[in-house]
Structure 1
């Protein structure tokens, strides 16, 4: 495919993953009208509707679901080709997927230490939302994920870096907000924010307190906070995260901590992976 066509596929994948043209445009750092036009052109070229558009929202058609799988595979292979060619030409590259937020102090120490020790390695960072704890690792869009568990580790090598306590995210005027601590049973019957269908079951279960929940679907940290602020739902967050104005976090004493982890594909021959892992262990130690 020509570069323009690959770019259009990236547009399509963003819309398919967000199921919202506005959010996809924000993610792509572009305005919505040209994104909508690009998707319409793609549908015209393929002779198939890729999305069902209605007042209720956007949904993938059967053709769109098929294209999403193919597009992810093709874009992943395209990225790997570029990286291998660059490596053959003498450039060392590493694509790092970071879940949600790259301002974690550990991540900042890692960035500084890696730059100091391996200045010849070009690091590309892809921040991802909360719906894929492997940060695109299985799709081949990243070499290594700086993420949180738990998730399906099949075929992956993992290394735990840190464990962080979690708490219940509540409105500041919630009847439970003044408690010194809570247990999951205290939140029985409450609506929780939750992740979309298809999210890794282990990941979904952890952030739902091990129970099936009902409530608004979210994809990003800010959406979690807004779901609580606007709807009075509850959910879990890191205890040391500073919540938005009008919200508070109360420790959950019967929840295991959230584990900061590195994950990469077993047997990946990329020579800059091991140095990155060693640097990360030291930075988070």
Structure 2
């Protein structure tokens, strides 16, 4: 029996739905089903009755839930205690790719200035990988783009910004003050690979509205603007992510205000998150307080 199986069981027990639980765990439905089935084989009895509307915990699952929950919480507490005992606590901070570029340059250096005795390790990952980084102690705290899965707790809304379209200045759409979704009809798109979750959301919306737009390719942050330059391609981007980039031949155009109102997902939210039901230790709480204070000062 593995800790991961126990954590998967706990999430499915809470959600009562494989689709919902798999989304909250950021794994495939097939992977979740296999893990639970293997756990049932090891235990020798069923934990859930499968039905078309979802799953129903068996009486055996009810009896085990509190015990499994204690094991999961105890494991997290044990790892935190080990870190503190080492007297060399390194606060592990994760964020999605491009986060540091979207912030003020002194966000992390300012923390080190205020708390010179504190040690931090910062790393950027795909936004979809943030939950697993937290669940398996690769990170203590993280900056994640919404939506935030139920298995995580949002401690603070760090910033919220409207997504912009980006294109070569010679593109006819570049001269417009704002763009509507229907303007994307028959346009070719270049997608930023570190915004995969957002790209999926907006493509679903255009499909629902019958807007035919073609995904030409994807690109990383370093090559994204260079590919757009001189082409007819259009992309979606966080304007803050390129706030320090001086590229005169590129235009950033917002959506019309009515589009942001109708489609809240066009507003990109960044949250400071930790695993749900986990209490931050002293080092993590110190960083949380610093971030909240910085946000208040900047408004």
Q: State TM-score, norm by structure 2.
A: 0.56
Distance 2:125 2:248 in 1: 24
Where structure 2 has 5 or more consecutive residues not aligned to the other structure, the ranges are: 1-76, 208-212, 261-265
Cα RMSD after superposing both structures: 3.3
Shift in alpha-carbon separation, 1:145–1:185, aligned structure 2, 3 A: same
Where structure 1 has 5 or more consecutive residues not aligned to the other structure, the ranges are: 1-79
Could you give the per-residue CA deviations for residues 26-85 of structure 1, whole angstroms, max 9, x where no partner exists?
A: xxxxxxxxxxxxxxxxxxxxxxxxxxxxxxxxxxxxxxxxxxxxxxxxxxxxxx999864
The within-5 A match list for 1:26-45 is none
Distance 2:269 2:124 in 1: 18
- Say how many residue pairs are matched: 200
**8 Å CA contact retained: 2:190, 2:219:** no
Corresponding position of 2:90: 93
Choose which of 243, 247, 252 in structure 1 pairs with 2:250.
247
Shift in alpha-carbon separation, 1:92–1:140, aligned structure 2, 3 A: closer
Further displaced range: 253-262 or 272-281 = 253-262
SS of 1:193's partner is: strand
Shift in alpha-carbon separation, 1:132–1:188, aligned structure 2, 3 A: farther
Corresponding position of 1:225: 225
Corresponding position of 1:259: 269
SS of 1:264's partner is: strand
The within-5 A match list for 1:12-23 is none
Shift in alpha-carbon separation, 1:136–1:174, aligned structure 2, 3 A: farther
Q: State TM-score, norm by structure 1.
A: 0.58
Structure number with larger C-alpha Rg:
2
Distance 1:135 1:111 in 2: 23
**8 Å CA contact retained: 1:157, 1:265:** yes
**8 Å CA contact retained: 1:168, 1:252:** yes
